[in-house]
Chain A
Amino acid sequence: MNIPTDRFYSKSHEWLLLEGPIGVVGVTDYAQRELSDIVFVELPAIGMHVRRGEAVATIESVKAASDIYSPATGEVLEVNAVLAQEPGLINTDPYGKGWLFRIRVEAPGETERLESPEAYAKLTAIASGAAT
């Protein structure tokens, strides 16, 4: 399971990468594997103000539709428009080309409520163990 050490993680399997005051949001490798083939993504509107923990996007896989929760509070600045044509990028490159949206992070202190890469690795190891 790939878990880059440069970002924060949520228990609901989103990641947040801080670039100064801007946060980039995506879903984790664990999440894309669980979802399997992603075939459609509905992203938040640019300019929308979202709260941490709020359902802001939907990913549809062959299996089902899954809500994506914002790991931070702030204004949505940009969405990954390429995903409309190529939602499978989330499967092939969840931490890179498969990013979902950028957000102006209002309260950097919120990251304390997120998981470190180490804690997230532990969390998914337990989840994987329980699933088999």
Chain B
Amino acid sequence: MGSFAGWTLPIVYSSVAEEVLSVRRKAGLFDISHMGELLLWGPDAQEWLDRLLPSNITALPTGRGRYSLLLNEDGGIIDDLLVYRIEPSKFFLVVNAATTQTDARWFSEKLAHAEAAVAEESERWGGLALQGPEALDILRRVLPELPLAFERRAIVAASWMGRSLWVAHTGYTGEDGAELFFPPSLGTSLWDALLRAGASSGLRPCGLAARDILRLEACLPLNGHELKEDLTPLEARLTWVVDWEKSASFPGKKALVEKRRRGQDISLVAFAAERPAPPPRAGYDLLAGDHVVGTVTSGGFSPTLEAAIGMGYVNRALATEGIQLAYVVRGRSYPVTLKPAPLYRRKN
């Protein structure tokens, strides 16, 4: 067990490597109750979300979700989140544990004069992530009402023990799967039922350490590591999140347009070590010869790729696939090669 943003969370159940591989090959079950949930609703909810987020929310249909960002006026990333439209004028936002209160305050200040309200509902929602190639089959054994056509990033209501829950076809592991949000009292029965239903398919409980390696292999950024307030979607290679064309302006748009014109100084890269190497850890320098050209933001040993891997920011001129850099641990230099992201991509 370990502490994370005020929550006590399981770090590892058996072995990080075994948990990672079970998600890649079969399925894994994660407790993600620490994630923050906000509810945003009202006649102006859609219009205001379009003015507050860089994504196009008007184009988001009911029953679907979208990955987006909270940006400050400089275009800096306050948080990343999933926005689900659960009713035409009601949105369910899933945000990071450490930034839940910040995000809730940010929305409520922005919505002070809007015909829309925001509620911080984290205490009211438990969360589980069921991830892996077998995940949806296992889930259907427990929740047979799930629609057959369940598209990526769709969100549907389901029921368990007479109470309703949300099931979203999403995840943060680079694998197929679902995330479930439910009243906390349902947590243990749902956890047990899923583990039982998945036992024959190789489902195993997984901790936060496995989740971190899985998202790293898939090059999914983590707030506090790849995402920070002094970094924008340009550095973080998240410009696909930004709808430059939509009519609504949004915080940071002006700064981003200007930075896009000028070009940013640094870019996020993914890399892998060429030979056995200690895990590159956040904060390590990335070197070209003797020159520090970047910093590691996340790193670890990938059981899937059987190599030390990482992500980090480097001078933009060097942010090219195939470039060789190095990091130093206890006086020894370990070479790495910049690789296309994601480092792991599922086959189907």
Q: Indicate with 1 or 0, residue by residue over A22-48, a CB within 8 angstroms of chain B CB atoms.
A: 000000000000001101101000000
- Segment of B188-196, B252-260, B275-283, B338-346 engaged in the interface with chain A: B275-283
Residue of B nearest to A88 (CB): B17
In the complex, whether A60 has a CB less than 8 A from a CB of chain B is: yes
A1 located at the interface, meaning its Cβ lies under 8 Å from any Cβ of chain B in the complex: no
Tell me the complex Cα distance, A42–B277, Å.
Answer: 9
Q: How far is the CA of A51 from the CA of B301 in the complex (A)?
A: 31
Q: Are B308 and A39 in contact (CB under 8 A)?
A: yes
Q: Is the CB of B308 within 8 A of A40?
A: yes
Contact B15 A91 (CB under 8 A): yes
B232 CB, min distance to chain A CBs, angstroms: 31
From 302 to 348 in chain B, residues with beta carbon under 8 angstroms from any chain A beta carbon are 308, 329-330, 332
**Are A37 and B17 also in contact (CB < 8 A) when A42-B278, A62-B301 are?**
yes
- Distance A40 CA – B278 CA, assembled complex (angstroms): 5
Pick the contact of B278: A37, A60, A85 (CB < 8 A). Answer: A60
A123 at the interface (CB under 8 A from B): no
- Inter-chain CA distance A75–B329, complex, in Å, is 25
- Which residues of B, 188-233, contact A by the 8 Å Cβ criterion? 209, 213
Count, chain B residues at interface, CB 8 A: 17
Min C-beta distance of B326 to chain A, whole Å: 16
Q: Is B65 an interface residue (CB 8 A)?
A: no
B16:A84 contact, CB within 8 angstroms: no
Chain A residues within an 8 Å CB radius of B16: 36-37, 62
Min Cβ gap B333→A in Å is: 13
Instruction: Check B82 for interface membership: any CB of A closer than 8 A.
Output: no
Contact A40 B276 (CB under 8 A): yes
Which B-chain residue is minimally distant from A84 (CB atoms)?
A: B276
How many A residues face the partner with a CB closer than 8 A? 15
A107 interfacial contact with B, CB 8 Å: no
> A49-90 vs B: 1/0 string, CB under 8 Å?
000000000101011010000000000000000001101100
B279, A40: Cβ atoms closer than 8 Å: yes
Could you tell me the distance between the alpha carbons of A39 and B209 in the complex, rounded to whole angstroms?
Answer: 13
Chain A residues with CB under 8 A of B15: 36-37, 91
Pairwise interchain contact A39-B330, C-beta atoms closer than 8 A = no
If A58-B330, A60-B279, A62-B279 touch, whether A40 touches B12 (CB-CB below 8 Å) is: no
Q: Which residue of A is nearest B2, CB measured? A: A63
Shortest Cβ distance from B210 into A: residue: A62
A42 to B11, CA, bound (A): 25
Contact yes or no, A85 B279, CB < 8 A: no
- Judged by a CB distance under 8 angstroms, whether B28 is at the interface is no
- Measured CA separation A37–B210 after assembly (Å): 11
A36 to B277, CA, bound (A): 18
Is residue B300 within 8 Å, beta carbon to beta carbon, of the partner chain? yes
Given A60-B278, A62-B279, A91-B15, also A40-B301 (CB < 8 A): yes
Contact between A39 and B12 (Cβ–Cβ < 8 Å)?
Answer: no
The contact of A62 among B209, B277, B330, B332, by CB within 8 Å, is B209
Tell me the chain B residues, 1-40 only, with Cβ under 8 Å from chain A. 11-12, 15-17
Which of A42, A58, A62 is the most central at the interface, judged by chain B CB atoms within 10 Å of its CB? A62
Can you name 14 A-B pairs with beta carbons within 8 Å?
A36-B15, A37-B15, A37-B209, A37-B301, A39-B278, A39-B279, A39-B308, A60-B278, A60-B279, A62-B213, A62-B279, A65-B278, A85-B276, A87-B276
Pairs of residues from A and B, 5 with the lowest C-beta to C-beta distance, nearest first: A39-B301, A40-B278, A37-B16, A60-B278, A62-B16
